[in-house]
Amino acid sequence: MANSQAMCTSFKSEILSGIHALGTTVTRAGTGADTIKAALYLASASLGAATTAYSATGEVSGAGYSAGGITATNATAPTSSGTTAYWTPSASFTYTNVTLTTSFDCVLVYNSTQSNKAISVHTFGAQTITAGTFVLSMPTNDASNALIRIA
Amino acid sequence: MIVNTTKGEIDDSLLEKREGAIDNDNENTTWVEYWLAGELVHRSAHVRLKKPIISISEAGSF
């Protein structure tokens, strides 16, 4: 048996669950699972890796859509398989009976409980919705396909 | 089937239905439109994301 250098898989999964706090001034707003939300953004917006928090700038607007987007269903805790930790919301993001006439191509997943801090940005082909429903289906929640993976 | 439209609920037999799909490495998307007298009165879309966000972690060496 030999030692091997590695990032511990348990740590990756525990990062997603907020178990470790390596910062010097860490304040969590609560000890339960956080509320995760999903907001849609116009194709003209500039979200990406540098996005740090939810902002109404560039967010879609229109009948039936509430600023801040919808609350993600989060019934499945982060877990790991092999050396990959992963998490996926447990239901599709569904925006029902909305009219969004300016094209949008992006959803921001963010932590509403923790000062709206950003988690991930996902892009897709530009869409408009007219008196209809927009559905973003989630991928299979496993180490190969989950929405968020730390490998 | 009754369709929710900008003109209220209308039976789909009175509407022109148009459908489309996009399938690429990033997504599989389907959409449906209903038109009334040349006017778009309903559009819905369903996006299935394929490409997850992946963050690679490494333990540093001394």
Tell me the per-residue pLDDT of A67-84, one tens digit each, with 9 for 90 and over: 999 999 988 889 999 999
| Chain B residues closer than 8 Å to A147 by CB | 49, 52-53
Selected residue of A8, A105, A124 to mutate for chain B interface (largest B Cβ count, 10 A) = A124
Complex confidence, ipTM: 0.89
Tell me the per-residue pLDDT of B4-61, one tens digit each, with 9 for 90 and over: 999 999 999 999 999 999 999 889 999 999 999 999 999 999 999 887 777 777 777 6
User: What are A118's strand-pairing partners?
Assistant: A110
The kind and range of the H/E element at A40 are: strand A36-42
A37 touches chain B (CB under 8 A): no
Q: What are the E-state strand segments in A79-116?
A: 79-81, 84-87, 93-111
